[in-house]
Chains A and B, each alone.
Chain A
Amino acid sequence: AQSVTQLDSQVPVFEEAPVELRCNYSSSVSVYLFWYVQYPNQGLQLLLKYLSGSTLVKGINGFEAEFNKSQTSFHLRKPSVHISDTAEYFCAVSYAGGSQGNLIFGKGTKLSVKP
């Protein structure tokens, strides 16, 4: 079965510092990869997604992620974070094809940006 591992449950960082949130997935078949963000007391919003093509994906709010097939990773990065980036971030994966198209989520990483 597919699984998604987010290696850090919490990441504290100072404002304007770079950040990387790590995500690894288990599937060996072709997958679609997503990062979602959840602000307090809100639903999830899509940050970016990888379907095919270039392995470097740019999303909203200055975030980007790199798909690495050999390492089965899809780490999220931002070169300079803001206080407003404080939120919980979820990595998710779904199969590319076949009968299983549901999103499988990681357990989330809480990013806390301090002034």
Chain B
Amino acid sequence: NAGVTQTPKFQVLKTGQSMTLQCAQDMNHEYMSWYRQDPGMGLRLIHYSVGAGITDQGEVPNGYNVSRSTTEDFPLRLLSAAPSQTSVYFCASSIQWGASKAFFGQGTRLTVV
């Protein structure tokens, strides 16, 4: 089983560039989310979705957009990259919101120069 697939694994952007981090899951999970991981900060929630067509902001949403047109895909868009967005980004999905095991992708390491 593929589980949660993130692409790309690594990316370098120049300040001001835009890009989309892809996330796809093949488990028919309703709940998907994006986190960023920074040293000493743990994982912080950027945006999440409880189903197709429904998204909401997490703890650190500024500078990021999301959409959920299908159950399988949950892309994260950086509109105008800034050095403060240098981080490792993780996508996660789960069957149930709150109580169930979350499945994480392998991460995207993004550097903004």
Contact = CB atoms under 8 A, between A and B. Distances in A.
Interface string A1-31: 0000010010000000000000000000000
Contacts of B45: 102-104
Interface residues of B, number: 25
A63 interface: no
Q: How large is the interface on A (under 10, 10 to 19, 20 to 34, 35 or more residues)?
A: 20 to 34
Interface stretch (B11-19, B61-69, B104-112): B104-112
Nearest to B9: A41
A8 to B, nearest CB: 13
Nearest to B3: A43
The winner among B43, B44, B58, B92 for most chain A CB atoms within 10 A is: B43
Contacts of B42: 6, 90, 105-108
B31 A101 contact: yes
